[in-house]
Every structure is written in structure tokens, then in C-alpha cells.
Amino acid sequence: MIERDMTSDSFDKRNFLFFLNEVHPPNVEDSLIGALASPSSWDAVAGIVKTARQKNAFARSIKRVQLYVHVPFCKQLCTFCHCPRVLLRRRSDTDAYIKALTRQMMLFAPVYKGMDASLINFGGGTPSILDAQQLTAILDVVDKAFPARSRKILFEVHPSSWTAAKLAVLSSRGLFRLTIGAQSLDEKVLKKVSRSQTRQKVLWCLRSARKAGAPYVNVDFIAGLPGQTVRGLIRDIKIVINEGANIVNVQPYCNVSLQELRGPGETVLAFFKRRDAMMKAATQALAEAGFRRKGLWGTYTRNGECEDYKEEAYSRLEAAVAAFGPFAIGQFPGAVHYRAGNLESTGDFTEVNASLQDSGYAMSNYVLIGIINGLDEQTFFKRFGTSLDRHCGEGLRYLQHSGLVAFSKGIWKFSGKWEVRRVREYAALSRVLFGQEILLRLRARFLNQYDPRQDYSGGNSFLKAYANNWLMSLYYQMNGLKDLD
């Protein structure tokens, strides 16, 4: 049993926490409590939110709800993608999907009544796989279920499935940010990861969005793809900047096996060094072009512009996330975290896995992210009405004792060099911030999988960290680039 004293060594919690990081890596969208989710119903989830808004002071403080629509379909499965998706086989699948989506939205609408629902984010999968008529149908339902004076639409597109008609629909309904999944402008590189699109179509998407007046146009790139070079990535970045992109996102090639990451004849170490060089060069090129990093996940904006371009509600707690569609992840901070089930053959996605959240869990998630850039004790108190020490002082002292965080002048902050080893250690051990009860539940949950005789802290586990998107994005955020020197 885990001792009440988190600094006690009578239970090898350090090894257990590293084990947790292996079986359930943490990230913002699918956080720790996801490991404890259990089957539920949409009626039950709606009831939890409704009750929280009536009786929970923390829940009542949340005034905004971000709508998220997950479109799971793809015409082709890119080998680099870690997002939940399925192959689209027939048009009837998308028609059934929209009908089920409509029912789900209308069910949830009453529990969010009175909240600001002016922002809707389409992700996937491939949202642009839907035609103009289908997009119109979804937005009509959104306007009916979640009325708002104005709407901000954030939309992701695969260049090969984007058309002028779809752009016209979104532009007329409040297109705020268009994200173009370029990944690379080199068609030979894209072919190696099963990505079908042309350089010309990517640039057309960018030019047409700017011409249509989209306030923010984001272009996504991946660094480290097979056959990709530093020179090629920098050339691509400069091209889209010259074409008017005011947001550029550069992610490290991750979330596939170490074997898949390597190019032909390339060693694992050579791949790591190539990817490091590309990420470092991209950061420098964007800085020289007047782009500044925004947030945690590899996003750069021109001159630091655009207010909350991505509305990171999952980690910032100022808004709930009402998520619709198969695989979609939603939450109401202090109440519930849920993930929708798979798309059934009937198109009626009725499955959902949910975990209850309390305000303590929401505060812990806030602390975990906040420490990365510096967490102010006074700010925490003003936000939650309780002291940081009272909430998770024991966990903070455990991390301090481990050399992972430091405290100075009221600020708790990640300490030490920004190396993969340290970032990985923080991601694993910071679970102590969620408290004794959740750790005990997790230990019971993984009782048959955890082997206390095995060392989960190093070896191949460390190498696997290089293939983890959450860890590598965090590592590159601080320009670590130390481990392989």
C-alpha cells in the first residue's frame, strides 16, 4: 500500500510511477484520469454536468464551453498520424455520422444553456472529407443547439480534399482559423508516409484562405520524416510564410515505433540527431521571420499575434469542452472527463467511457501544466480559493526532493536542464500531484500488470520517450537539445 508520506521509500512509488508512464503516458487531451474511465451513457454524462453546474461552485465559475466535433474519416491512413481515425468506405457512413452527431448535440445542449458557446473546433481524422452540404448541415444544428451572437470556427483540412465550395461555407459562417496539414511540401517525402497531396494544392489552400479573409491560417509541418532534410524543411517554412501563413506549427516525428522512425539505413541515434537538428533550425528560422512560440505544442505565431488561437481549454480550465463524434474527448472541469466510443456500423455512436472529476483533480492538472513555465502560489489561490500547499504541498515537496522542481519567491518551477531524461522523469513522477486516492486506485487498476521486480525507469523505456509526442513536444518547447551532444 502506498504510504501517506509521499517522501517515504517503503513503497517503491518511483518505479510504479514510471510504470504508469509506460502504460498510460500523460498528455493534455487524454489526461491521467482517463486510465480510470469506465463505461457510461450519454444521459449519465449529461446528468453529471447538469448537477455540477447547479451545486458545484467551481463548476459554476466556468462560463464558456468550447464545442469540439471529431470527424474520424480518412481516405488514406498516414503512417505518422496518432489521431483516432477510420477509413471512409462509402458516402452513407458520413450521412449516418451526421444524423448521430445531430442527436448527440441536441441531447447535450440543455446542460450548457447560458454558457458562451461561440467557438467550435473541427478535428479528425479529416474534417475536410465532408462536403459543403454536410458542413452546412452540422453548422445549422450547432446554431440551433448552441446559439451565439457570433461564431469562431477552427477547422483542419487535408489539402487533397479541400475545395472552394467548402471554404465558402465556412467563411460565411465565421471561419477564424484554418489549419492546413501540409507536413512537408516535398511530395517524395510525403509518399513515404502515405500522404497523398501535391505542393500546388497546399499552396492553393493557403492563398485561397487568405484571399477569403480568414484571420488566421496555420500550416502544420513535421520534422524528421523519412527522407526529409534540414534544408528542405526550412525551405518549406519560408515558402508558406511568404504566402501569408501567420501561424506555423512544427511537430517532431513521433508516435510510431523506433523502427518506423528511422529512414533506410539510418540508425536510431542518427535519426534522433537529424530530428534535433531540424527542430533547432526550424525554431531559428521562424524567430528570424518574426514568429514567436505560443503555448506548449510547437506553435509559432507572427509577431506573437492572435488571441488564444487554439483555445487550449483542456489545460487552462477557463472553458469546458463539449465533444461530439466517435473518439471525441470532452470534459467539464471539476465534474467529468469522457471519451466517446467507436463508430458503429449503424453510425449511431452510443458508447462512452467517463471518469468523474472533482475540483481537486482539475487543480492538480492545472498545477502539472503550470509548473512547466512557473506556477505562482498567489495566482493559484485567487483562481481556486485554496492554498497550493494545502492542495498538493506533499506532492510538490516530493518533486522538490527529487530535484525536479524548485521553489523561489512564491514560484514553483521545473528545475534542471531541459533534457529528455528530466522531462520524462517529470511526466512520470508528477502524478503524485493528483493525490493519494487516485494513486491507490491506479495501483489497483494495474495490479496484474505491474511487476515490482522490473525497473521501469530506464533502458528501452528511455529510448521510447523519443517516440512519445507529448514528451518530445515538451522537450523541444524549451529547446533542450542536450541529450545527444
DSSP code of residue 125? S
Residues 20 and 88 in one domain: no
Residues 270 and 415 in one domain: no
Residues 98 and 199 in one domain: yes
Residues 257 and 370 in one domain: no
Taking the C-alpha atoms of residue 259 and residue 145, their distance in angstroms, rounded to an integer, is 47
For residue range 130-149, list pLDDT tens digits in order: 999 999 999 999 999 999 99
The single-letter code of the amino acid at 347 is G
Number of domains in the chain: 2
pTM, full prediction? 0.89
| 421-to-70, 430, 457, 482, 484 alpha-carbon distances in Å | 34, 14, 10, 10, 11
Residues 111 and 200 in one domain: yes
Residues 221 and 158 in one domain: yes
Residue 169 resides in a domain? yes
Please give the residue range of the domain that contains residue 50.
Answer: 42-313
Asked whether the CA dihedral 255, 258, 264, 268 is positive or negative, the reply is positive
Q: Is the pLDDT of residue 420 over 90?
A: no
Query: Which one has a higher pLDDT value, 1 or 100?
Result: 100
Residues 284 and 414 in one domain: no
Taking the C-alpha atoms of residue 2 and residue 440, their distance in angstroms, rounded to an integer, is 7
Cell 513521433: give the residue: 254
Residue 305 resides in a domain? yes
345 pLDDT band, cuts 50/70/90, is very low
For residue range 179-237, list pLDDT tens digits in order: 999 999 999 999 988 888 999 999 999 999 999 999 999 999 999 999 999 999 999 99
Taking the C-alpha atoms of residue 48 and residue 334, their distance in angstroms, rounded to an integer, is 10
Percent of the chain with pLDDT over 90: 48
Cell 469522457: give the residue: 338
Residue 442 resides in a domain? yes
343 pLDDT band, cuts 50/70/90, is low
